[in-house]
Amino acid sequence: MTTIDTDVRVAGAGPAGLAAAIELGSRGVRVLVIERKERGGTAPRPKTTNVRTRTHLRRWGIADRLAEEAPFGVDYPNNMVFVTRLAGHELSRFANAFNAAPERSALYPEHGQWVPQYTLEKVMGEKVRSLPSVDLRFNTLFVAAMQDDRGVVATIVAMGGDETTVTARYLIGADGARSAVRELIGAKLEGRAGLSHAYNIIFRAPGLAEAHPHGPAAIYWQIGKDGFSAIGPMDRDDTWFFMPGGAKPGDRLSDAEAQAVIADCTGIDLPYDILSADSWTASELLADRYADRRFILVGDAAHLHPPAGGYGMNMGVGDGADIGWKIAATLAGSGGPGLVGTYETERRPTHCAVIDEAMANYAIYVAPVPPAIEDATDEGAAIRATVGAGVQATKGREFDTLGAILGLDYASPIVAAEPGEPPPHDSQVYTPTARAGYLAPHAWLADGRSLYDAFGDGFALIAADDADPAQVAAAAAQA
Ligand SMILES: Cc1cc2nc3c(=O)[nH]c(=O)nc-3n(C[C@H](O)[C@H](O)[C@H](O)COP(=O)(O)OP(=O)(O)OC[C@H]3O[C@@H](n4cnc5c(N)ncnc54)[C@H](O)[C@@H]3O)c2cc1C
């Protein structure tokens, strides 16, 4: 049996595992990432890469690469358009959802981006492969692991049967909702599973973008007499996604049935070429603990939330960034003995707040609408006006979430306690604050760089122009 010695072994090469690998590998830490599948494909996972995730990407030097990969260009409008059906009447719309317009903002250096998860993973994977200390292996299964005071011994098996022993200092479980590492540490998911079920169909439909009157958008939310469904462009080559409403566990449609449902719900009859379909379940679950000494959970292995608001993948990237610098500092000898433990102390309240936010969004259901909503009559127009006003009053929260993305704070033994009340939290409105534990307020420097570009990889001391030089020198010496 062969043996590999490394510093950190990561199980799972989804967004959370790749983020941890980049953060560690950028700091020279040796990492072995193993993934049991070939990732990629057309799975209809997230398309919202939020401003915080893209700010991590900027730090890693790949935000511009992701922008280049935007299927329709980064300036494709991230509109959310509510219609009776794609061929029908408009009810309401929200522009620039998730701050995805490529505008210069004082609040953050990178806008959000509408891009399929597999494209984000491709760009993160390229970065991982460029890091000399990271070894990324697909078609390799994590089987078992043990730990003691000195490290971790794990067994992995490559497809084809070769078993390898891996010795490492830490094992990161980025192995998703059915995490084996979570089982290994005896953690339980708490909350509610199976809140709702969804069925996603990916299809190709040349001409569909031109066959409706509503202009470009990321998602067209259809609220018609037949119920709710969502449809939108997914990628180049006229690839779209469609999610019929009211899905049940285990739903399976033949291609002919899927084609008929799409034509019926949109009111547009085109040759729909079905590429793939899969079902998924929305849950509200949090692991009762994230770590046992050298085994640590990140991403969906630790927390699962409904997709409303687009948090899951973005949270996983944030987890990977957080545990990455902490393990790197610990291995380098500059982190204290409790540093790795602050990962759970700091991230758990953030996950709880974001799950609450996703649940609040998820709870805003559009009530069944009267069948006359599609009629070209005064009654139909009145129903559309009422439904549209209801959507406008309630759904905006889901698409405008800067407070939840940038405004949550960390409280832990490594964050200085400050006197006074923290600023009030608003999930929609982000108010920058220099209070300890919060994201450093962003600013553009005179030379055009972001303040964050000047931070570098280690600690940064920010001194105002009028700061007392003696105090600055004392603070620098303390750091
Ligand atoms: C329809 C839908 C829409 C969504 N929309 C959004 C959105 O807009 N924004 C957002 O932020 N999130 C969204 N999410 C959630 C997002 O997809 C997940 O949160 C994200 O993929 C989790 O990343 P992860 O790296 O933690 O886990 P995963 O992506 O699940 O990756 C885990 C990996 O571990 C591998 N693995 C498992 N066990 C082993 C083993 N024993 N050995 C080796 N490898 C193993 C798996 O093969 C898998 O590739 C959405 C989800 C769905 C279903």
Evaluate whether 80 touches 217 at the Cβ level (below 8 Å).
Answer: yes
Number of domains observed in the structure of the chain: 3
CB-side exposure of 319: number of CA atoms within 13 Å? 33
- Ligand 1: which of 45, 122, 298, 311 to mutate, most ligand atoms within 8 Å of CB? 45
- How far apart (Å, rounded) are the C-alpha atoms in residues 307 and 313? 9
pLDDT at 479: 66
* 60 phi, psi to nearest 5 deg: -85, -5
Q: What is the pLDDT of residues 96-126, one digit of tens each?
A: 999 999 999 999 999 999 999 999 999 999 9
User: What single letter denotes the amino acid at residue 4?
Assistant: I
Shared domain check, 234 and 312? no
The pLDDT-based confidence of 1 (bands split at 50, 70, 90) is confident
DSSP 223: E
pLDDT at 250: 80
Residue 418 included in any domain: no
- Ligand 1: which of 32, 36, 172 to mutate, most ligand atoms within 8 Å of CB? 36
Q: What is the pLDDT of residues 450-471, one digit of tens each?
A: 999 999 888 888 888 899 999 8
* 324 phi, psi to nearest 5 deg: -60, -50
Shared domain check, 300 and 370? no
Residue 436 included in any domain: no
Distance of CA 133 to the CA centre of its chain: 25
Q: What is the pLDDT of residues 373-410, one digit of tens each?
A: 999 999 999 999 999 999 999 999 999 999 999 999 99
Residue 425 included in any domain: no
Higher pLDDT, 475 or 55: 55
The pLDDT-based confidence of 343 (bands split at 50, 70, 90) is very high
Mean pLDDT of all residues belonging to the chain: 94
Shared domain check, 120 and 39? yes
Shared domain check, 150 and 18? yes
The pLDDT-based confidence of 363 (bands split at 50, 70, 90) is confident
Residue 101 included in any domain: yes
Shared domain check, 268 and 302? no
Residue 295 included in any domain: yes
Residue 51 included in any domain: no
User: If we measure between CA atoms, which residue out of 364, 393, 308, 365 comes closest to residue 91?
Assistant: 393
Shared domain check, 197 and 269? yes
pLDDT at 141: 95
CATH no. for residue 318? 3.50.50.60
pLDDT at 40: 67
Residue 36 included in any domain: yes
pLDDT at 308: 85
Structural domain harbouring 474: 443-479
pLDDT at 366: 61
Name which residue sits closest to atom 6 of ligand 1, judged by CA.
46
- Given 353, 373, 393, which residue is the final one in a domain? 353
Shared domain check, 176 and 199? no
CA distances (Å), origin 291, targets 340, 348, 419, 463: 10, 11, 31, 37
User: If we measure between CA atoms, which residue out of 162, 164, 139, 266 comes closest to residue 207?
Assistant: 266
Place of tokens 């953060």: 23
Q: How far is the CA of 177 from the centre of ligand 1 (A)?
A: 7
Shared domain check, 467 and 324? no
Shared domain check, 137 and 101? no
Q: What is the pLDDT of residues 286-307, one digit of tens each?
A: 999 999 999 999 999 999 988 8
Q: How far is the CA of 300 from the centre of ligand 1 (A)?
A: 6
Shared domain check, 205 and 79? yes
Residue 55 included in any domain: no
Shared domain check, 380 and 341? no
Residue 233 tokens, joined:
């462009």
DSSP 417: -
| Ligand 1 pocket list (CB less than 6 A) | 11-17, 34-37, 39, 44-48, 117, 141-142, 174-176, 180, 200, 280, 299-300, 307, 310-314, 316
pLDDT at 121: 95
Residue 215 tokens, joined:
């202009």
pLDDT at 42: 62
- Tell me: pLDDT of 41 over 80: no
Shared domain check, 220 and 95? yes
The residues, ordered by sequence, that sit 6+ positions from 139 with a Cβ below 8 Å of its Cβ are: 35, 36, 37, 38, 158, 159
The pLDDT-based confidence of 365 (bands split at 50, 70, 90) is low
pLDDT at 176: 96
pLDDT at 44: 59
- How far apart (Å, rounded) are the C-alpha atoms in residues 191 and 197? 16
pTM greater than the 0.75 cutoff: yes
Task: Find which of 83-92, 156-165, 362-371 is predicted with most confidence, using mean pLDDT.
Answer: 83-92
